[in-house]
C-alpha cells in the first residue's frame, strides 16, 4: 500500500470537545485495520488514558520504547480515552522494528528509515502523521475537517 519514497506530513489538531474523533484509534482505523495489523510497531514516550497495560510495560523499560504487533496496538488503542503524547512507528517487519529500540527515535528519523508511517502525538494538542502514500494522505484530508498538509522539509528537523 505504501511504497513511495516521498513523505507526506499531515497535522491533525485536536478539537476542544471531548468527543473529538481525532485520537490514535481513529487515526489507525482510517489507515485501515488490515494495514495497521500487517505492520510491527515501535511505540515510545507514550502518555494516554486507558487501562494502563501498555503504559505499564513502557514504564518498566528504561528507554520507554517497545515493539508491539499491529493487532496488539489496535486492541489497546480501542480502549484509549485520550492520547496525550507518544510516537508510533509502523515497520514492514519485526526485524526492522527492532531497530526502533536501538535508536533515539525522532521525527527526522522517518525520512531515511524503512518505516511505512509514523504518528506523533503532540502533548494532547494534535497529531503529526507521516505517510508514504498520497492516496492515504488524501483520505485523511477528506475525513478530518481541520487536517493540514505540511511540507516535510520544514518539519522533519527534530
Dist. CA 46–CA 87, nearest whole Å:
7
Q: How many domains does the chain have?
A: 1
- 14's grid cell: 485536536
Q: For the segment 99-144, what is each residue's pLDDT rounded down to a tens digit?
A: 777 776 776 778 778 888 899 888 877 888 888 888 888 888 888 7
What residues of the chain score a pLDDT lower than 50?
1-4, 18-19, 155-158
- Looking at residue 83, its pLDDT comes to 84
- Looking at residue 108, its pLDDT comes to 74
For residue 55, tell me if it sits in a domain: yes
For residue 13, tell me if it sits in a domain: no
Q: CB-side exposure of 114: number of CA atoms within 13 Å?
A: 14
User: In angstroms, what CA-CA distances link 107 with 76, 110, 153?
Assistant: 23, 6, 11
For residue 4, tell me if it sits in a domain: no
Tell me the residue range of the domain where 96 lies.
21-148
Dist. CA 1–CA 117, nearest whole Å:
11
For residue 49, tell me if it sits in a domain: yes
Amino acid at each position: 500500500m505504501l511504497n513511495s519514497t516521498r513523505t507526506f506530513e499531515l497535522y491533525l489538531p485536536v478539537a476542544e470537545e471531548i468527543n473529538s474523533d481525532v485520537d490514535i484509534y481513529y487515526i489507525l482505523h482510517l489507515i485501515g485495520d488490515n494495514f495497521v495489523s500487517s505492520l510491527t510497531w515501535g511505540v515510545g514516550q507514550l502518555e494516554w488514558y486507558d487501562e494502563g497495560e501498555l503504559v505499564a510495560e513502557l514504564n518498566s523499560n528504561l528507554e520507554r520504547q517497545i515493539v508491539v504487533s499491529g493487532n496488539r496496538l489496535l486492541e489497546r488503542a480501542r480502549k484509549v480515552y485520550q492520547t496525550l503524547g507518544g510516537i508510533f512507528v509502523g515497520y514492514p517487519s519485526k526485524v526492522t522494528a527492532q531497530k526502533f529500540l536501538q535508536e533515539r527515535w525522532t521525527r527526522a528519523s522517518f525520512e531515511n528509515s524503512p518505516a511505512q508511517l509514523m504518528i506523533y502525538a503532540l502533548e494532547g494538542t494534535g497529531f503529526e502523521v507521516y505517510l508514504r502514500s498520497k492516496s492515504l494522505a488524501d483520505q485523511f484530508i477528506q475525513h478530518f475537517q481541520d487536517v493540514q498538509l505540511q511540507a516535510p522539509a520544514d518539519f522533519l528537523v527534530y
